[in-house]
């Protein structure tokens, strides 16, 4: 595929952006596979936990699936810790940002806040308030975030659990990222140029 000819944006022409737009669509279509390949980056990172982050992710998704959670929630469970290798101090933000354009805003909120909610089970060991999540008690995503953490996430450190392999979830991830992302740029071809608008 050819390339744009500009060296700076303020010299670009519509033809350049048509070329870039065509590349973007191809690139967008590969998001699911790139996200899954990044999930492999947290394989082997056990950080002292009984299972590594990869197994923990698969196990959280397996538990959600077996609890008859909807497919979007299962994918959220699979990817909720995907930012752990790059952003251990705020990993939930990474997963939430990746998924947010494709999912229910309440699920994005759930992922963004899962660490605080999860802390209900261990924050006291750090001298912190385990009930810190209570401040969100009236939030519409509170119940789903409690369920996510209490029933699936915090239980998924069991090396003997019958955890499903990544291949089981691959089609679900593909379907989710095939959705039209929220606030995506319109296509260049369908845009009316300033010249057209003036005529
Ligand atoms: Fe987790």
Query: What region does 6 belong to: left with phi over 0, alpha with psi -120 to 50, or beta?
Result: beta
Give the Å distance between the CA of 196 and the centre of ligand 1. 51
d(CA 78, CA 82): 8
Give the Å distance between the CA of 80 and the centre of ligand 1. 6
Give the Å distance between the CA of 153 and the centre of ligand 1. 5
Give the Å distance between the CA of 54 and the centre of ligand 1. 10
Give the Å distance between the CA of 2 and the centre of ligand 1. 42
Give the Å distance between the CA of 57 and the centre of ligand 1. 6
Q: How confident is the model at residue 190 (pLDDT cuts 50, 70, 90)?
A: confident
Give the Å distance between the CA of 139 and the centre of ligand 1. 21
Give the Å distance between the CA of 197 and the centre of ligand 1. 51
Q: What percent of the chain has pLDDT over 90?
A: 78
Hey, what are 166's tokens? 């990544």
d(CA 142, CA 117): 9
Give the Å distance between the CA of 147 and the centre of ligand 1. 13
pLDDT (tens digit per residue) in 30-72: 999 999 999 999 998 888 999 999 999 999 999 999 999 999 9
Give the Å distance between the CA of 30 and the centre of ligand 1. 25
Q: How confident is the model at residue 192 (pLDDT cuts 50, 70, 90)?
A: low
Give the Å distance between the CA of 138 and the centre of ligand 1. 23
Give the Å distance between the CA of 111 and the centre of ligand 1. 10
35: buried, middle or exposed (CB in 10 Å: 19+, 13-18, 0-12)? buried
Question: Model's pTM, two decimal places?
Answer: 0.91
Give the Å distance between the CA of 79 and the centre of ligand 1. 9
pLDDT (tens digit per residue) in 131-151: 999 999 999 999 999 999 999
């Amino acid at each position: 595929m050819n390339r744009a000819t500009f060296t700076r944006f303020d010299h670009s022409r519509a033809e350049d952006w048509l070329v870039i737009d065509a590349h973007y669509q191809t690139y967008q279509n590969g998001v699911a596979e790139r996200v899954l390949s990044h999930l492999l980056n947290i394989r082997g990172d056990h950080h002292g936990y009984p299972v590594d982050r990869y197994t923990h992710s698969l196990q959280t998704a397996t538990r959600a699936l077996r609890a008859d959670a909807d497919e979007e929630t299962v994918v959220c469970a699979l990817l909720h810790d995907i930012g752990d290798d790059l952003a251990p101090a705020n990993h939930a933000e990474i997963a939430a940002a990746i998924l947010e354009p494709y999912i229910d805003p309440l699920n994005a909120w759930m992922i963004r806040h899962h660490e605080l909610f999860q802390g209900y089970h261990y924050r006291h060991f750090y001298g912190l308030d385990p009930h810190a999540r209570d401040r969100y008690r009236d939030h519409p995503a509170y119940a789903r975030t409690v369920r996510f953490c209490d029933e699936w996430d915090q239980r998924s450190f069991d090396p003997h659990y019958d955890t499903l392999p990544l291949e089981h979830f691959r089609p679900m991830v593909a379907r989710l990222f095939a959705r039209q992302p929220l606030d995506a740029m319109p296509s260049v071809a369908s845009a009316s140029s300033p010249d057209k608008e003036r005529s």
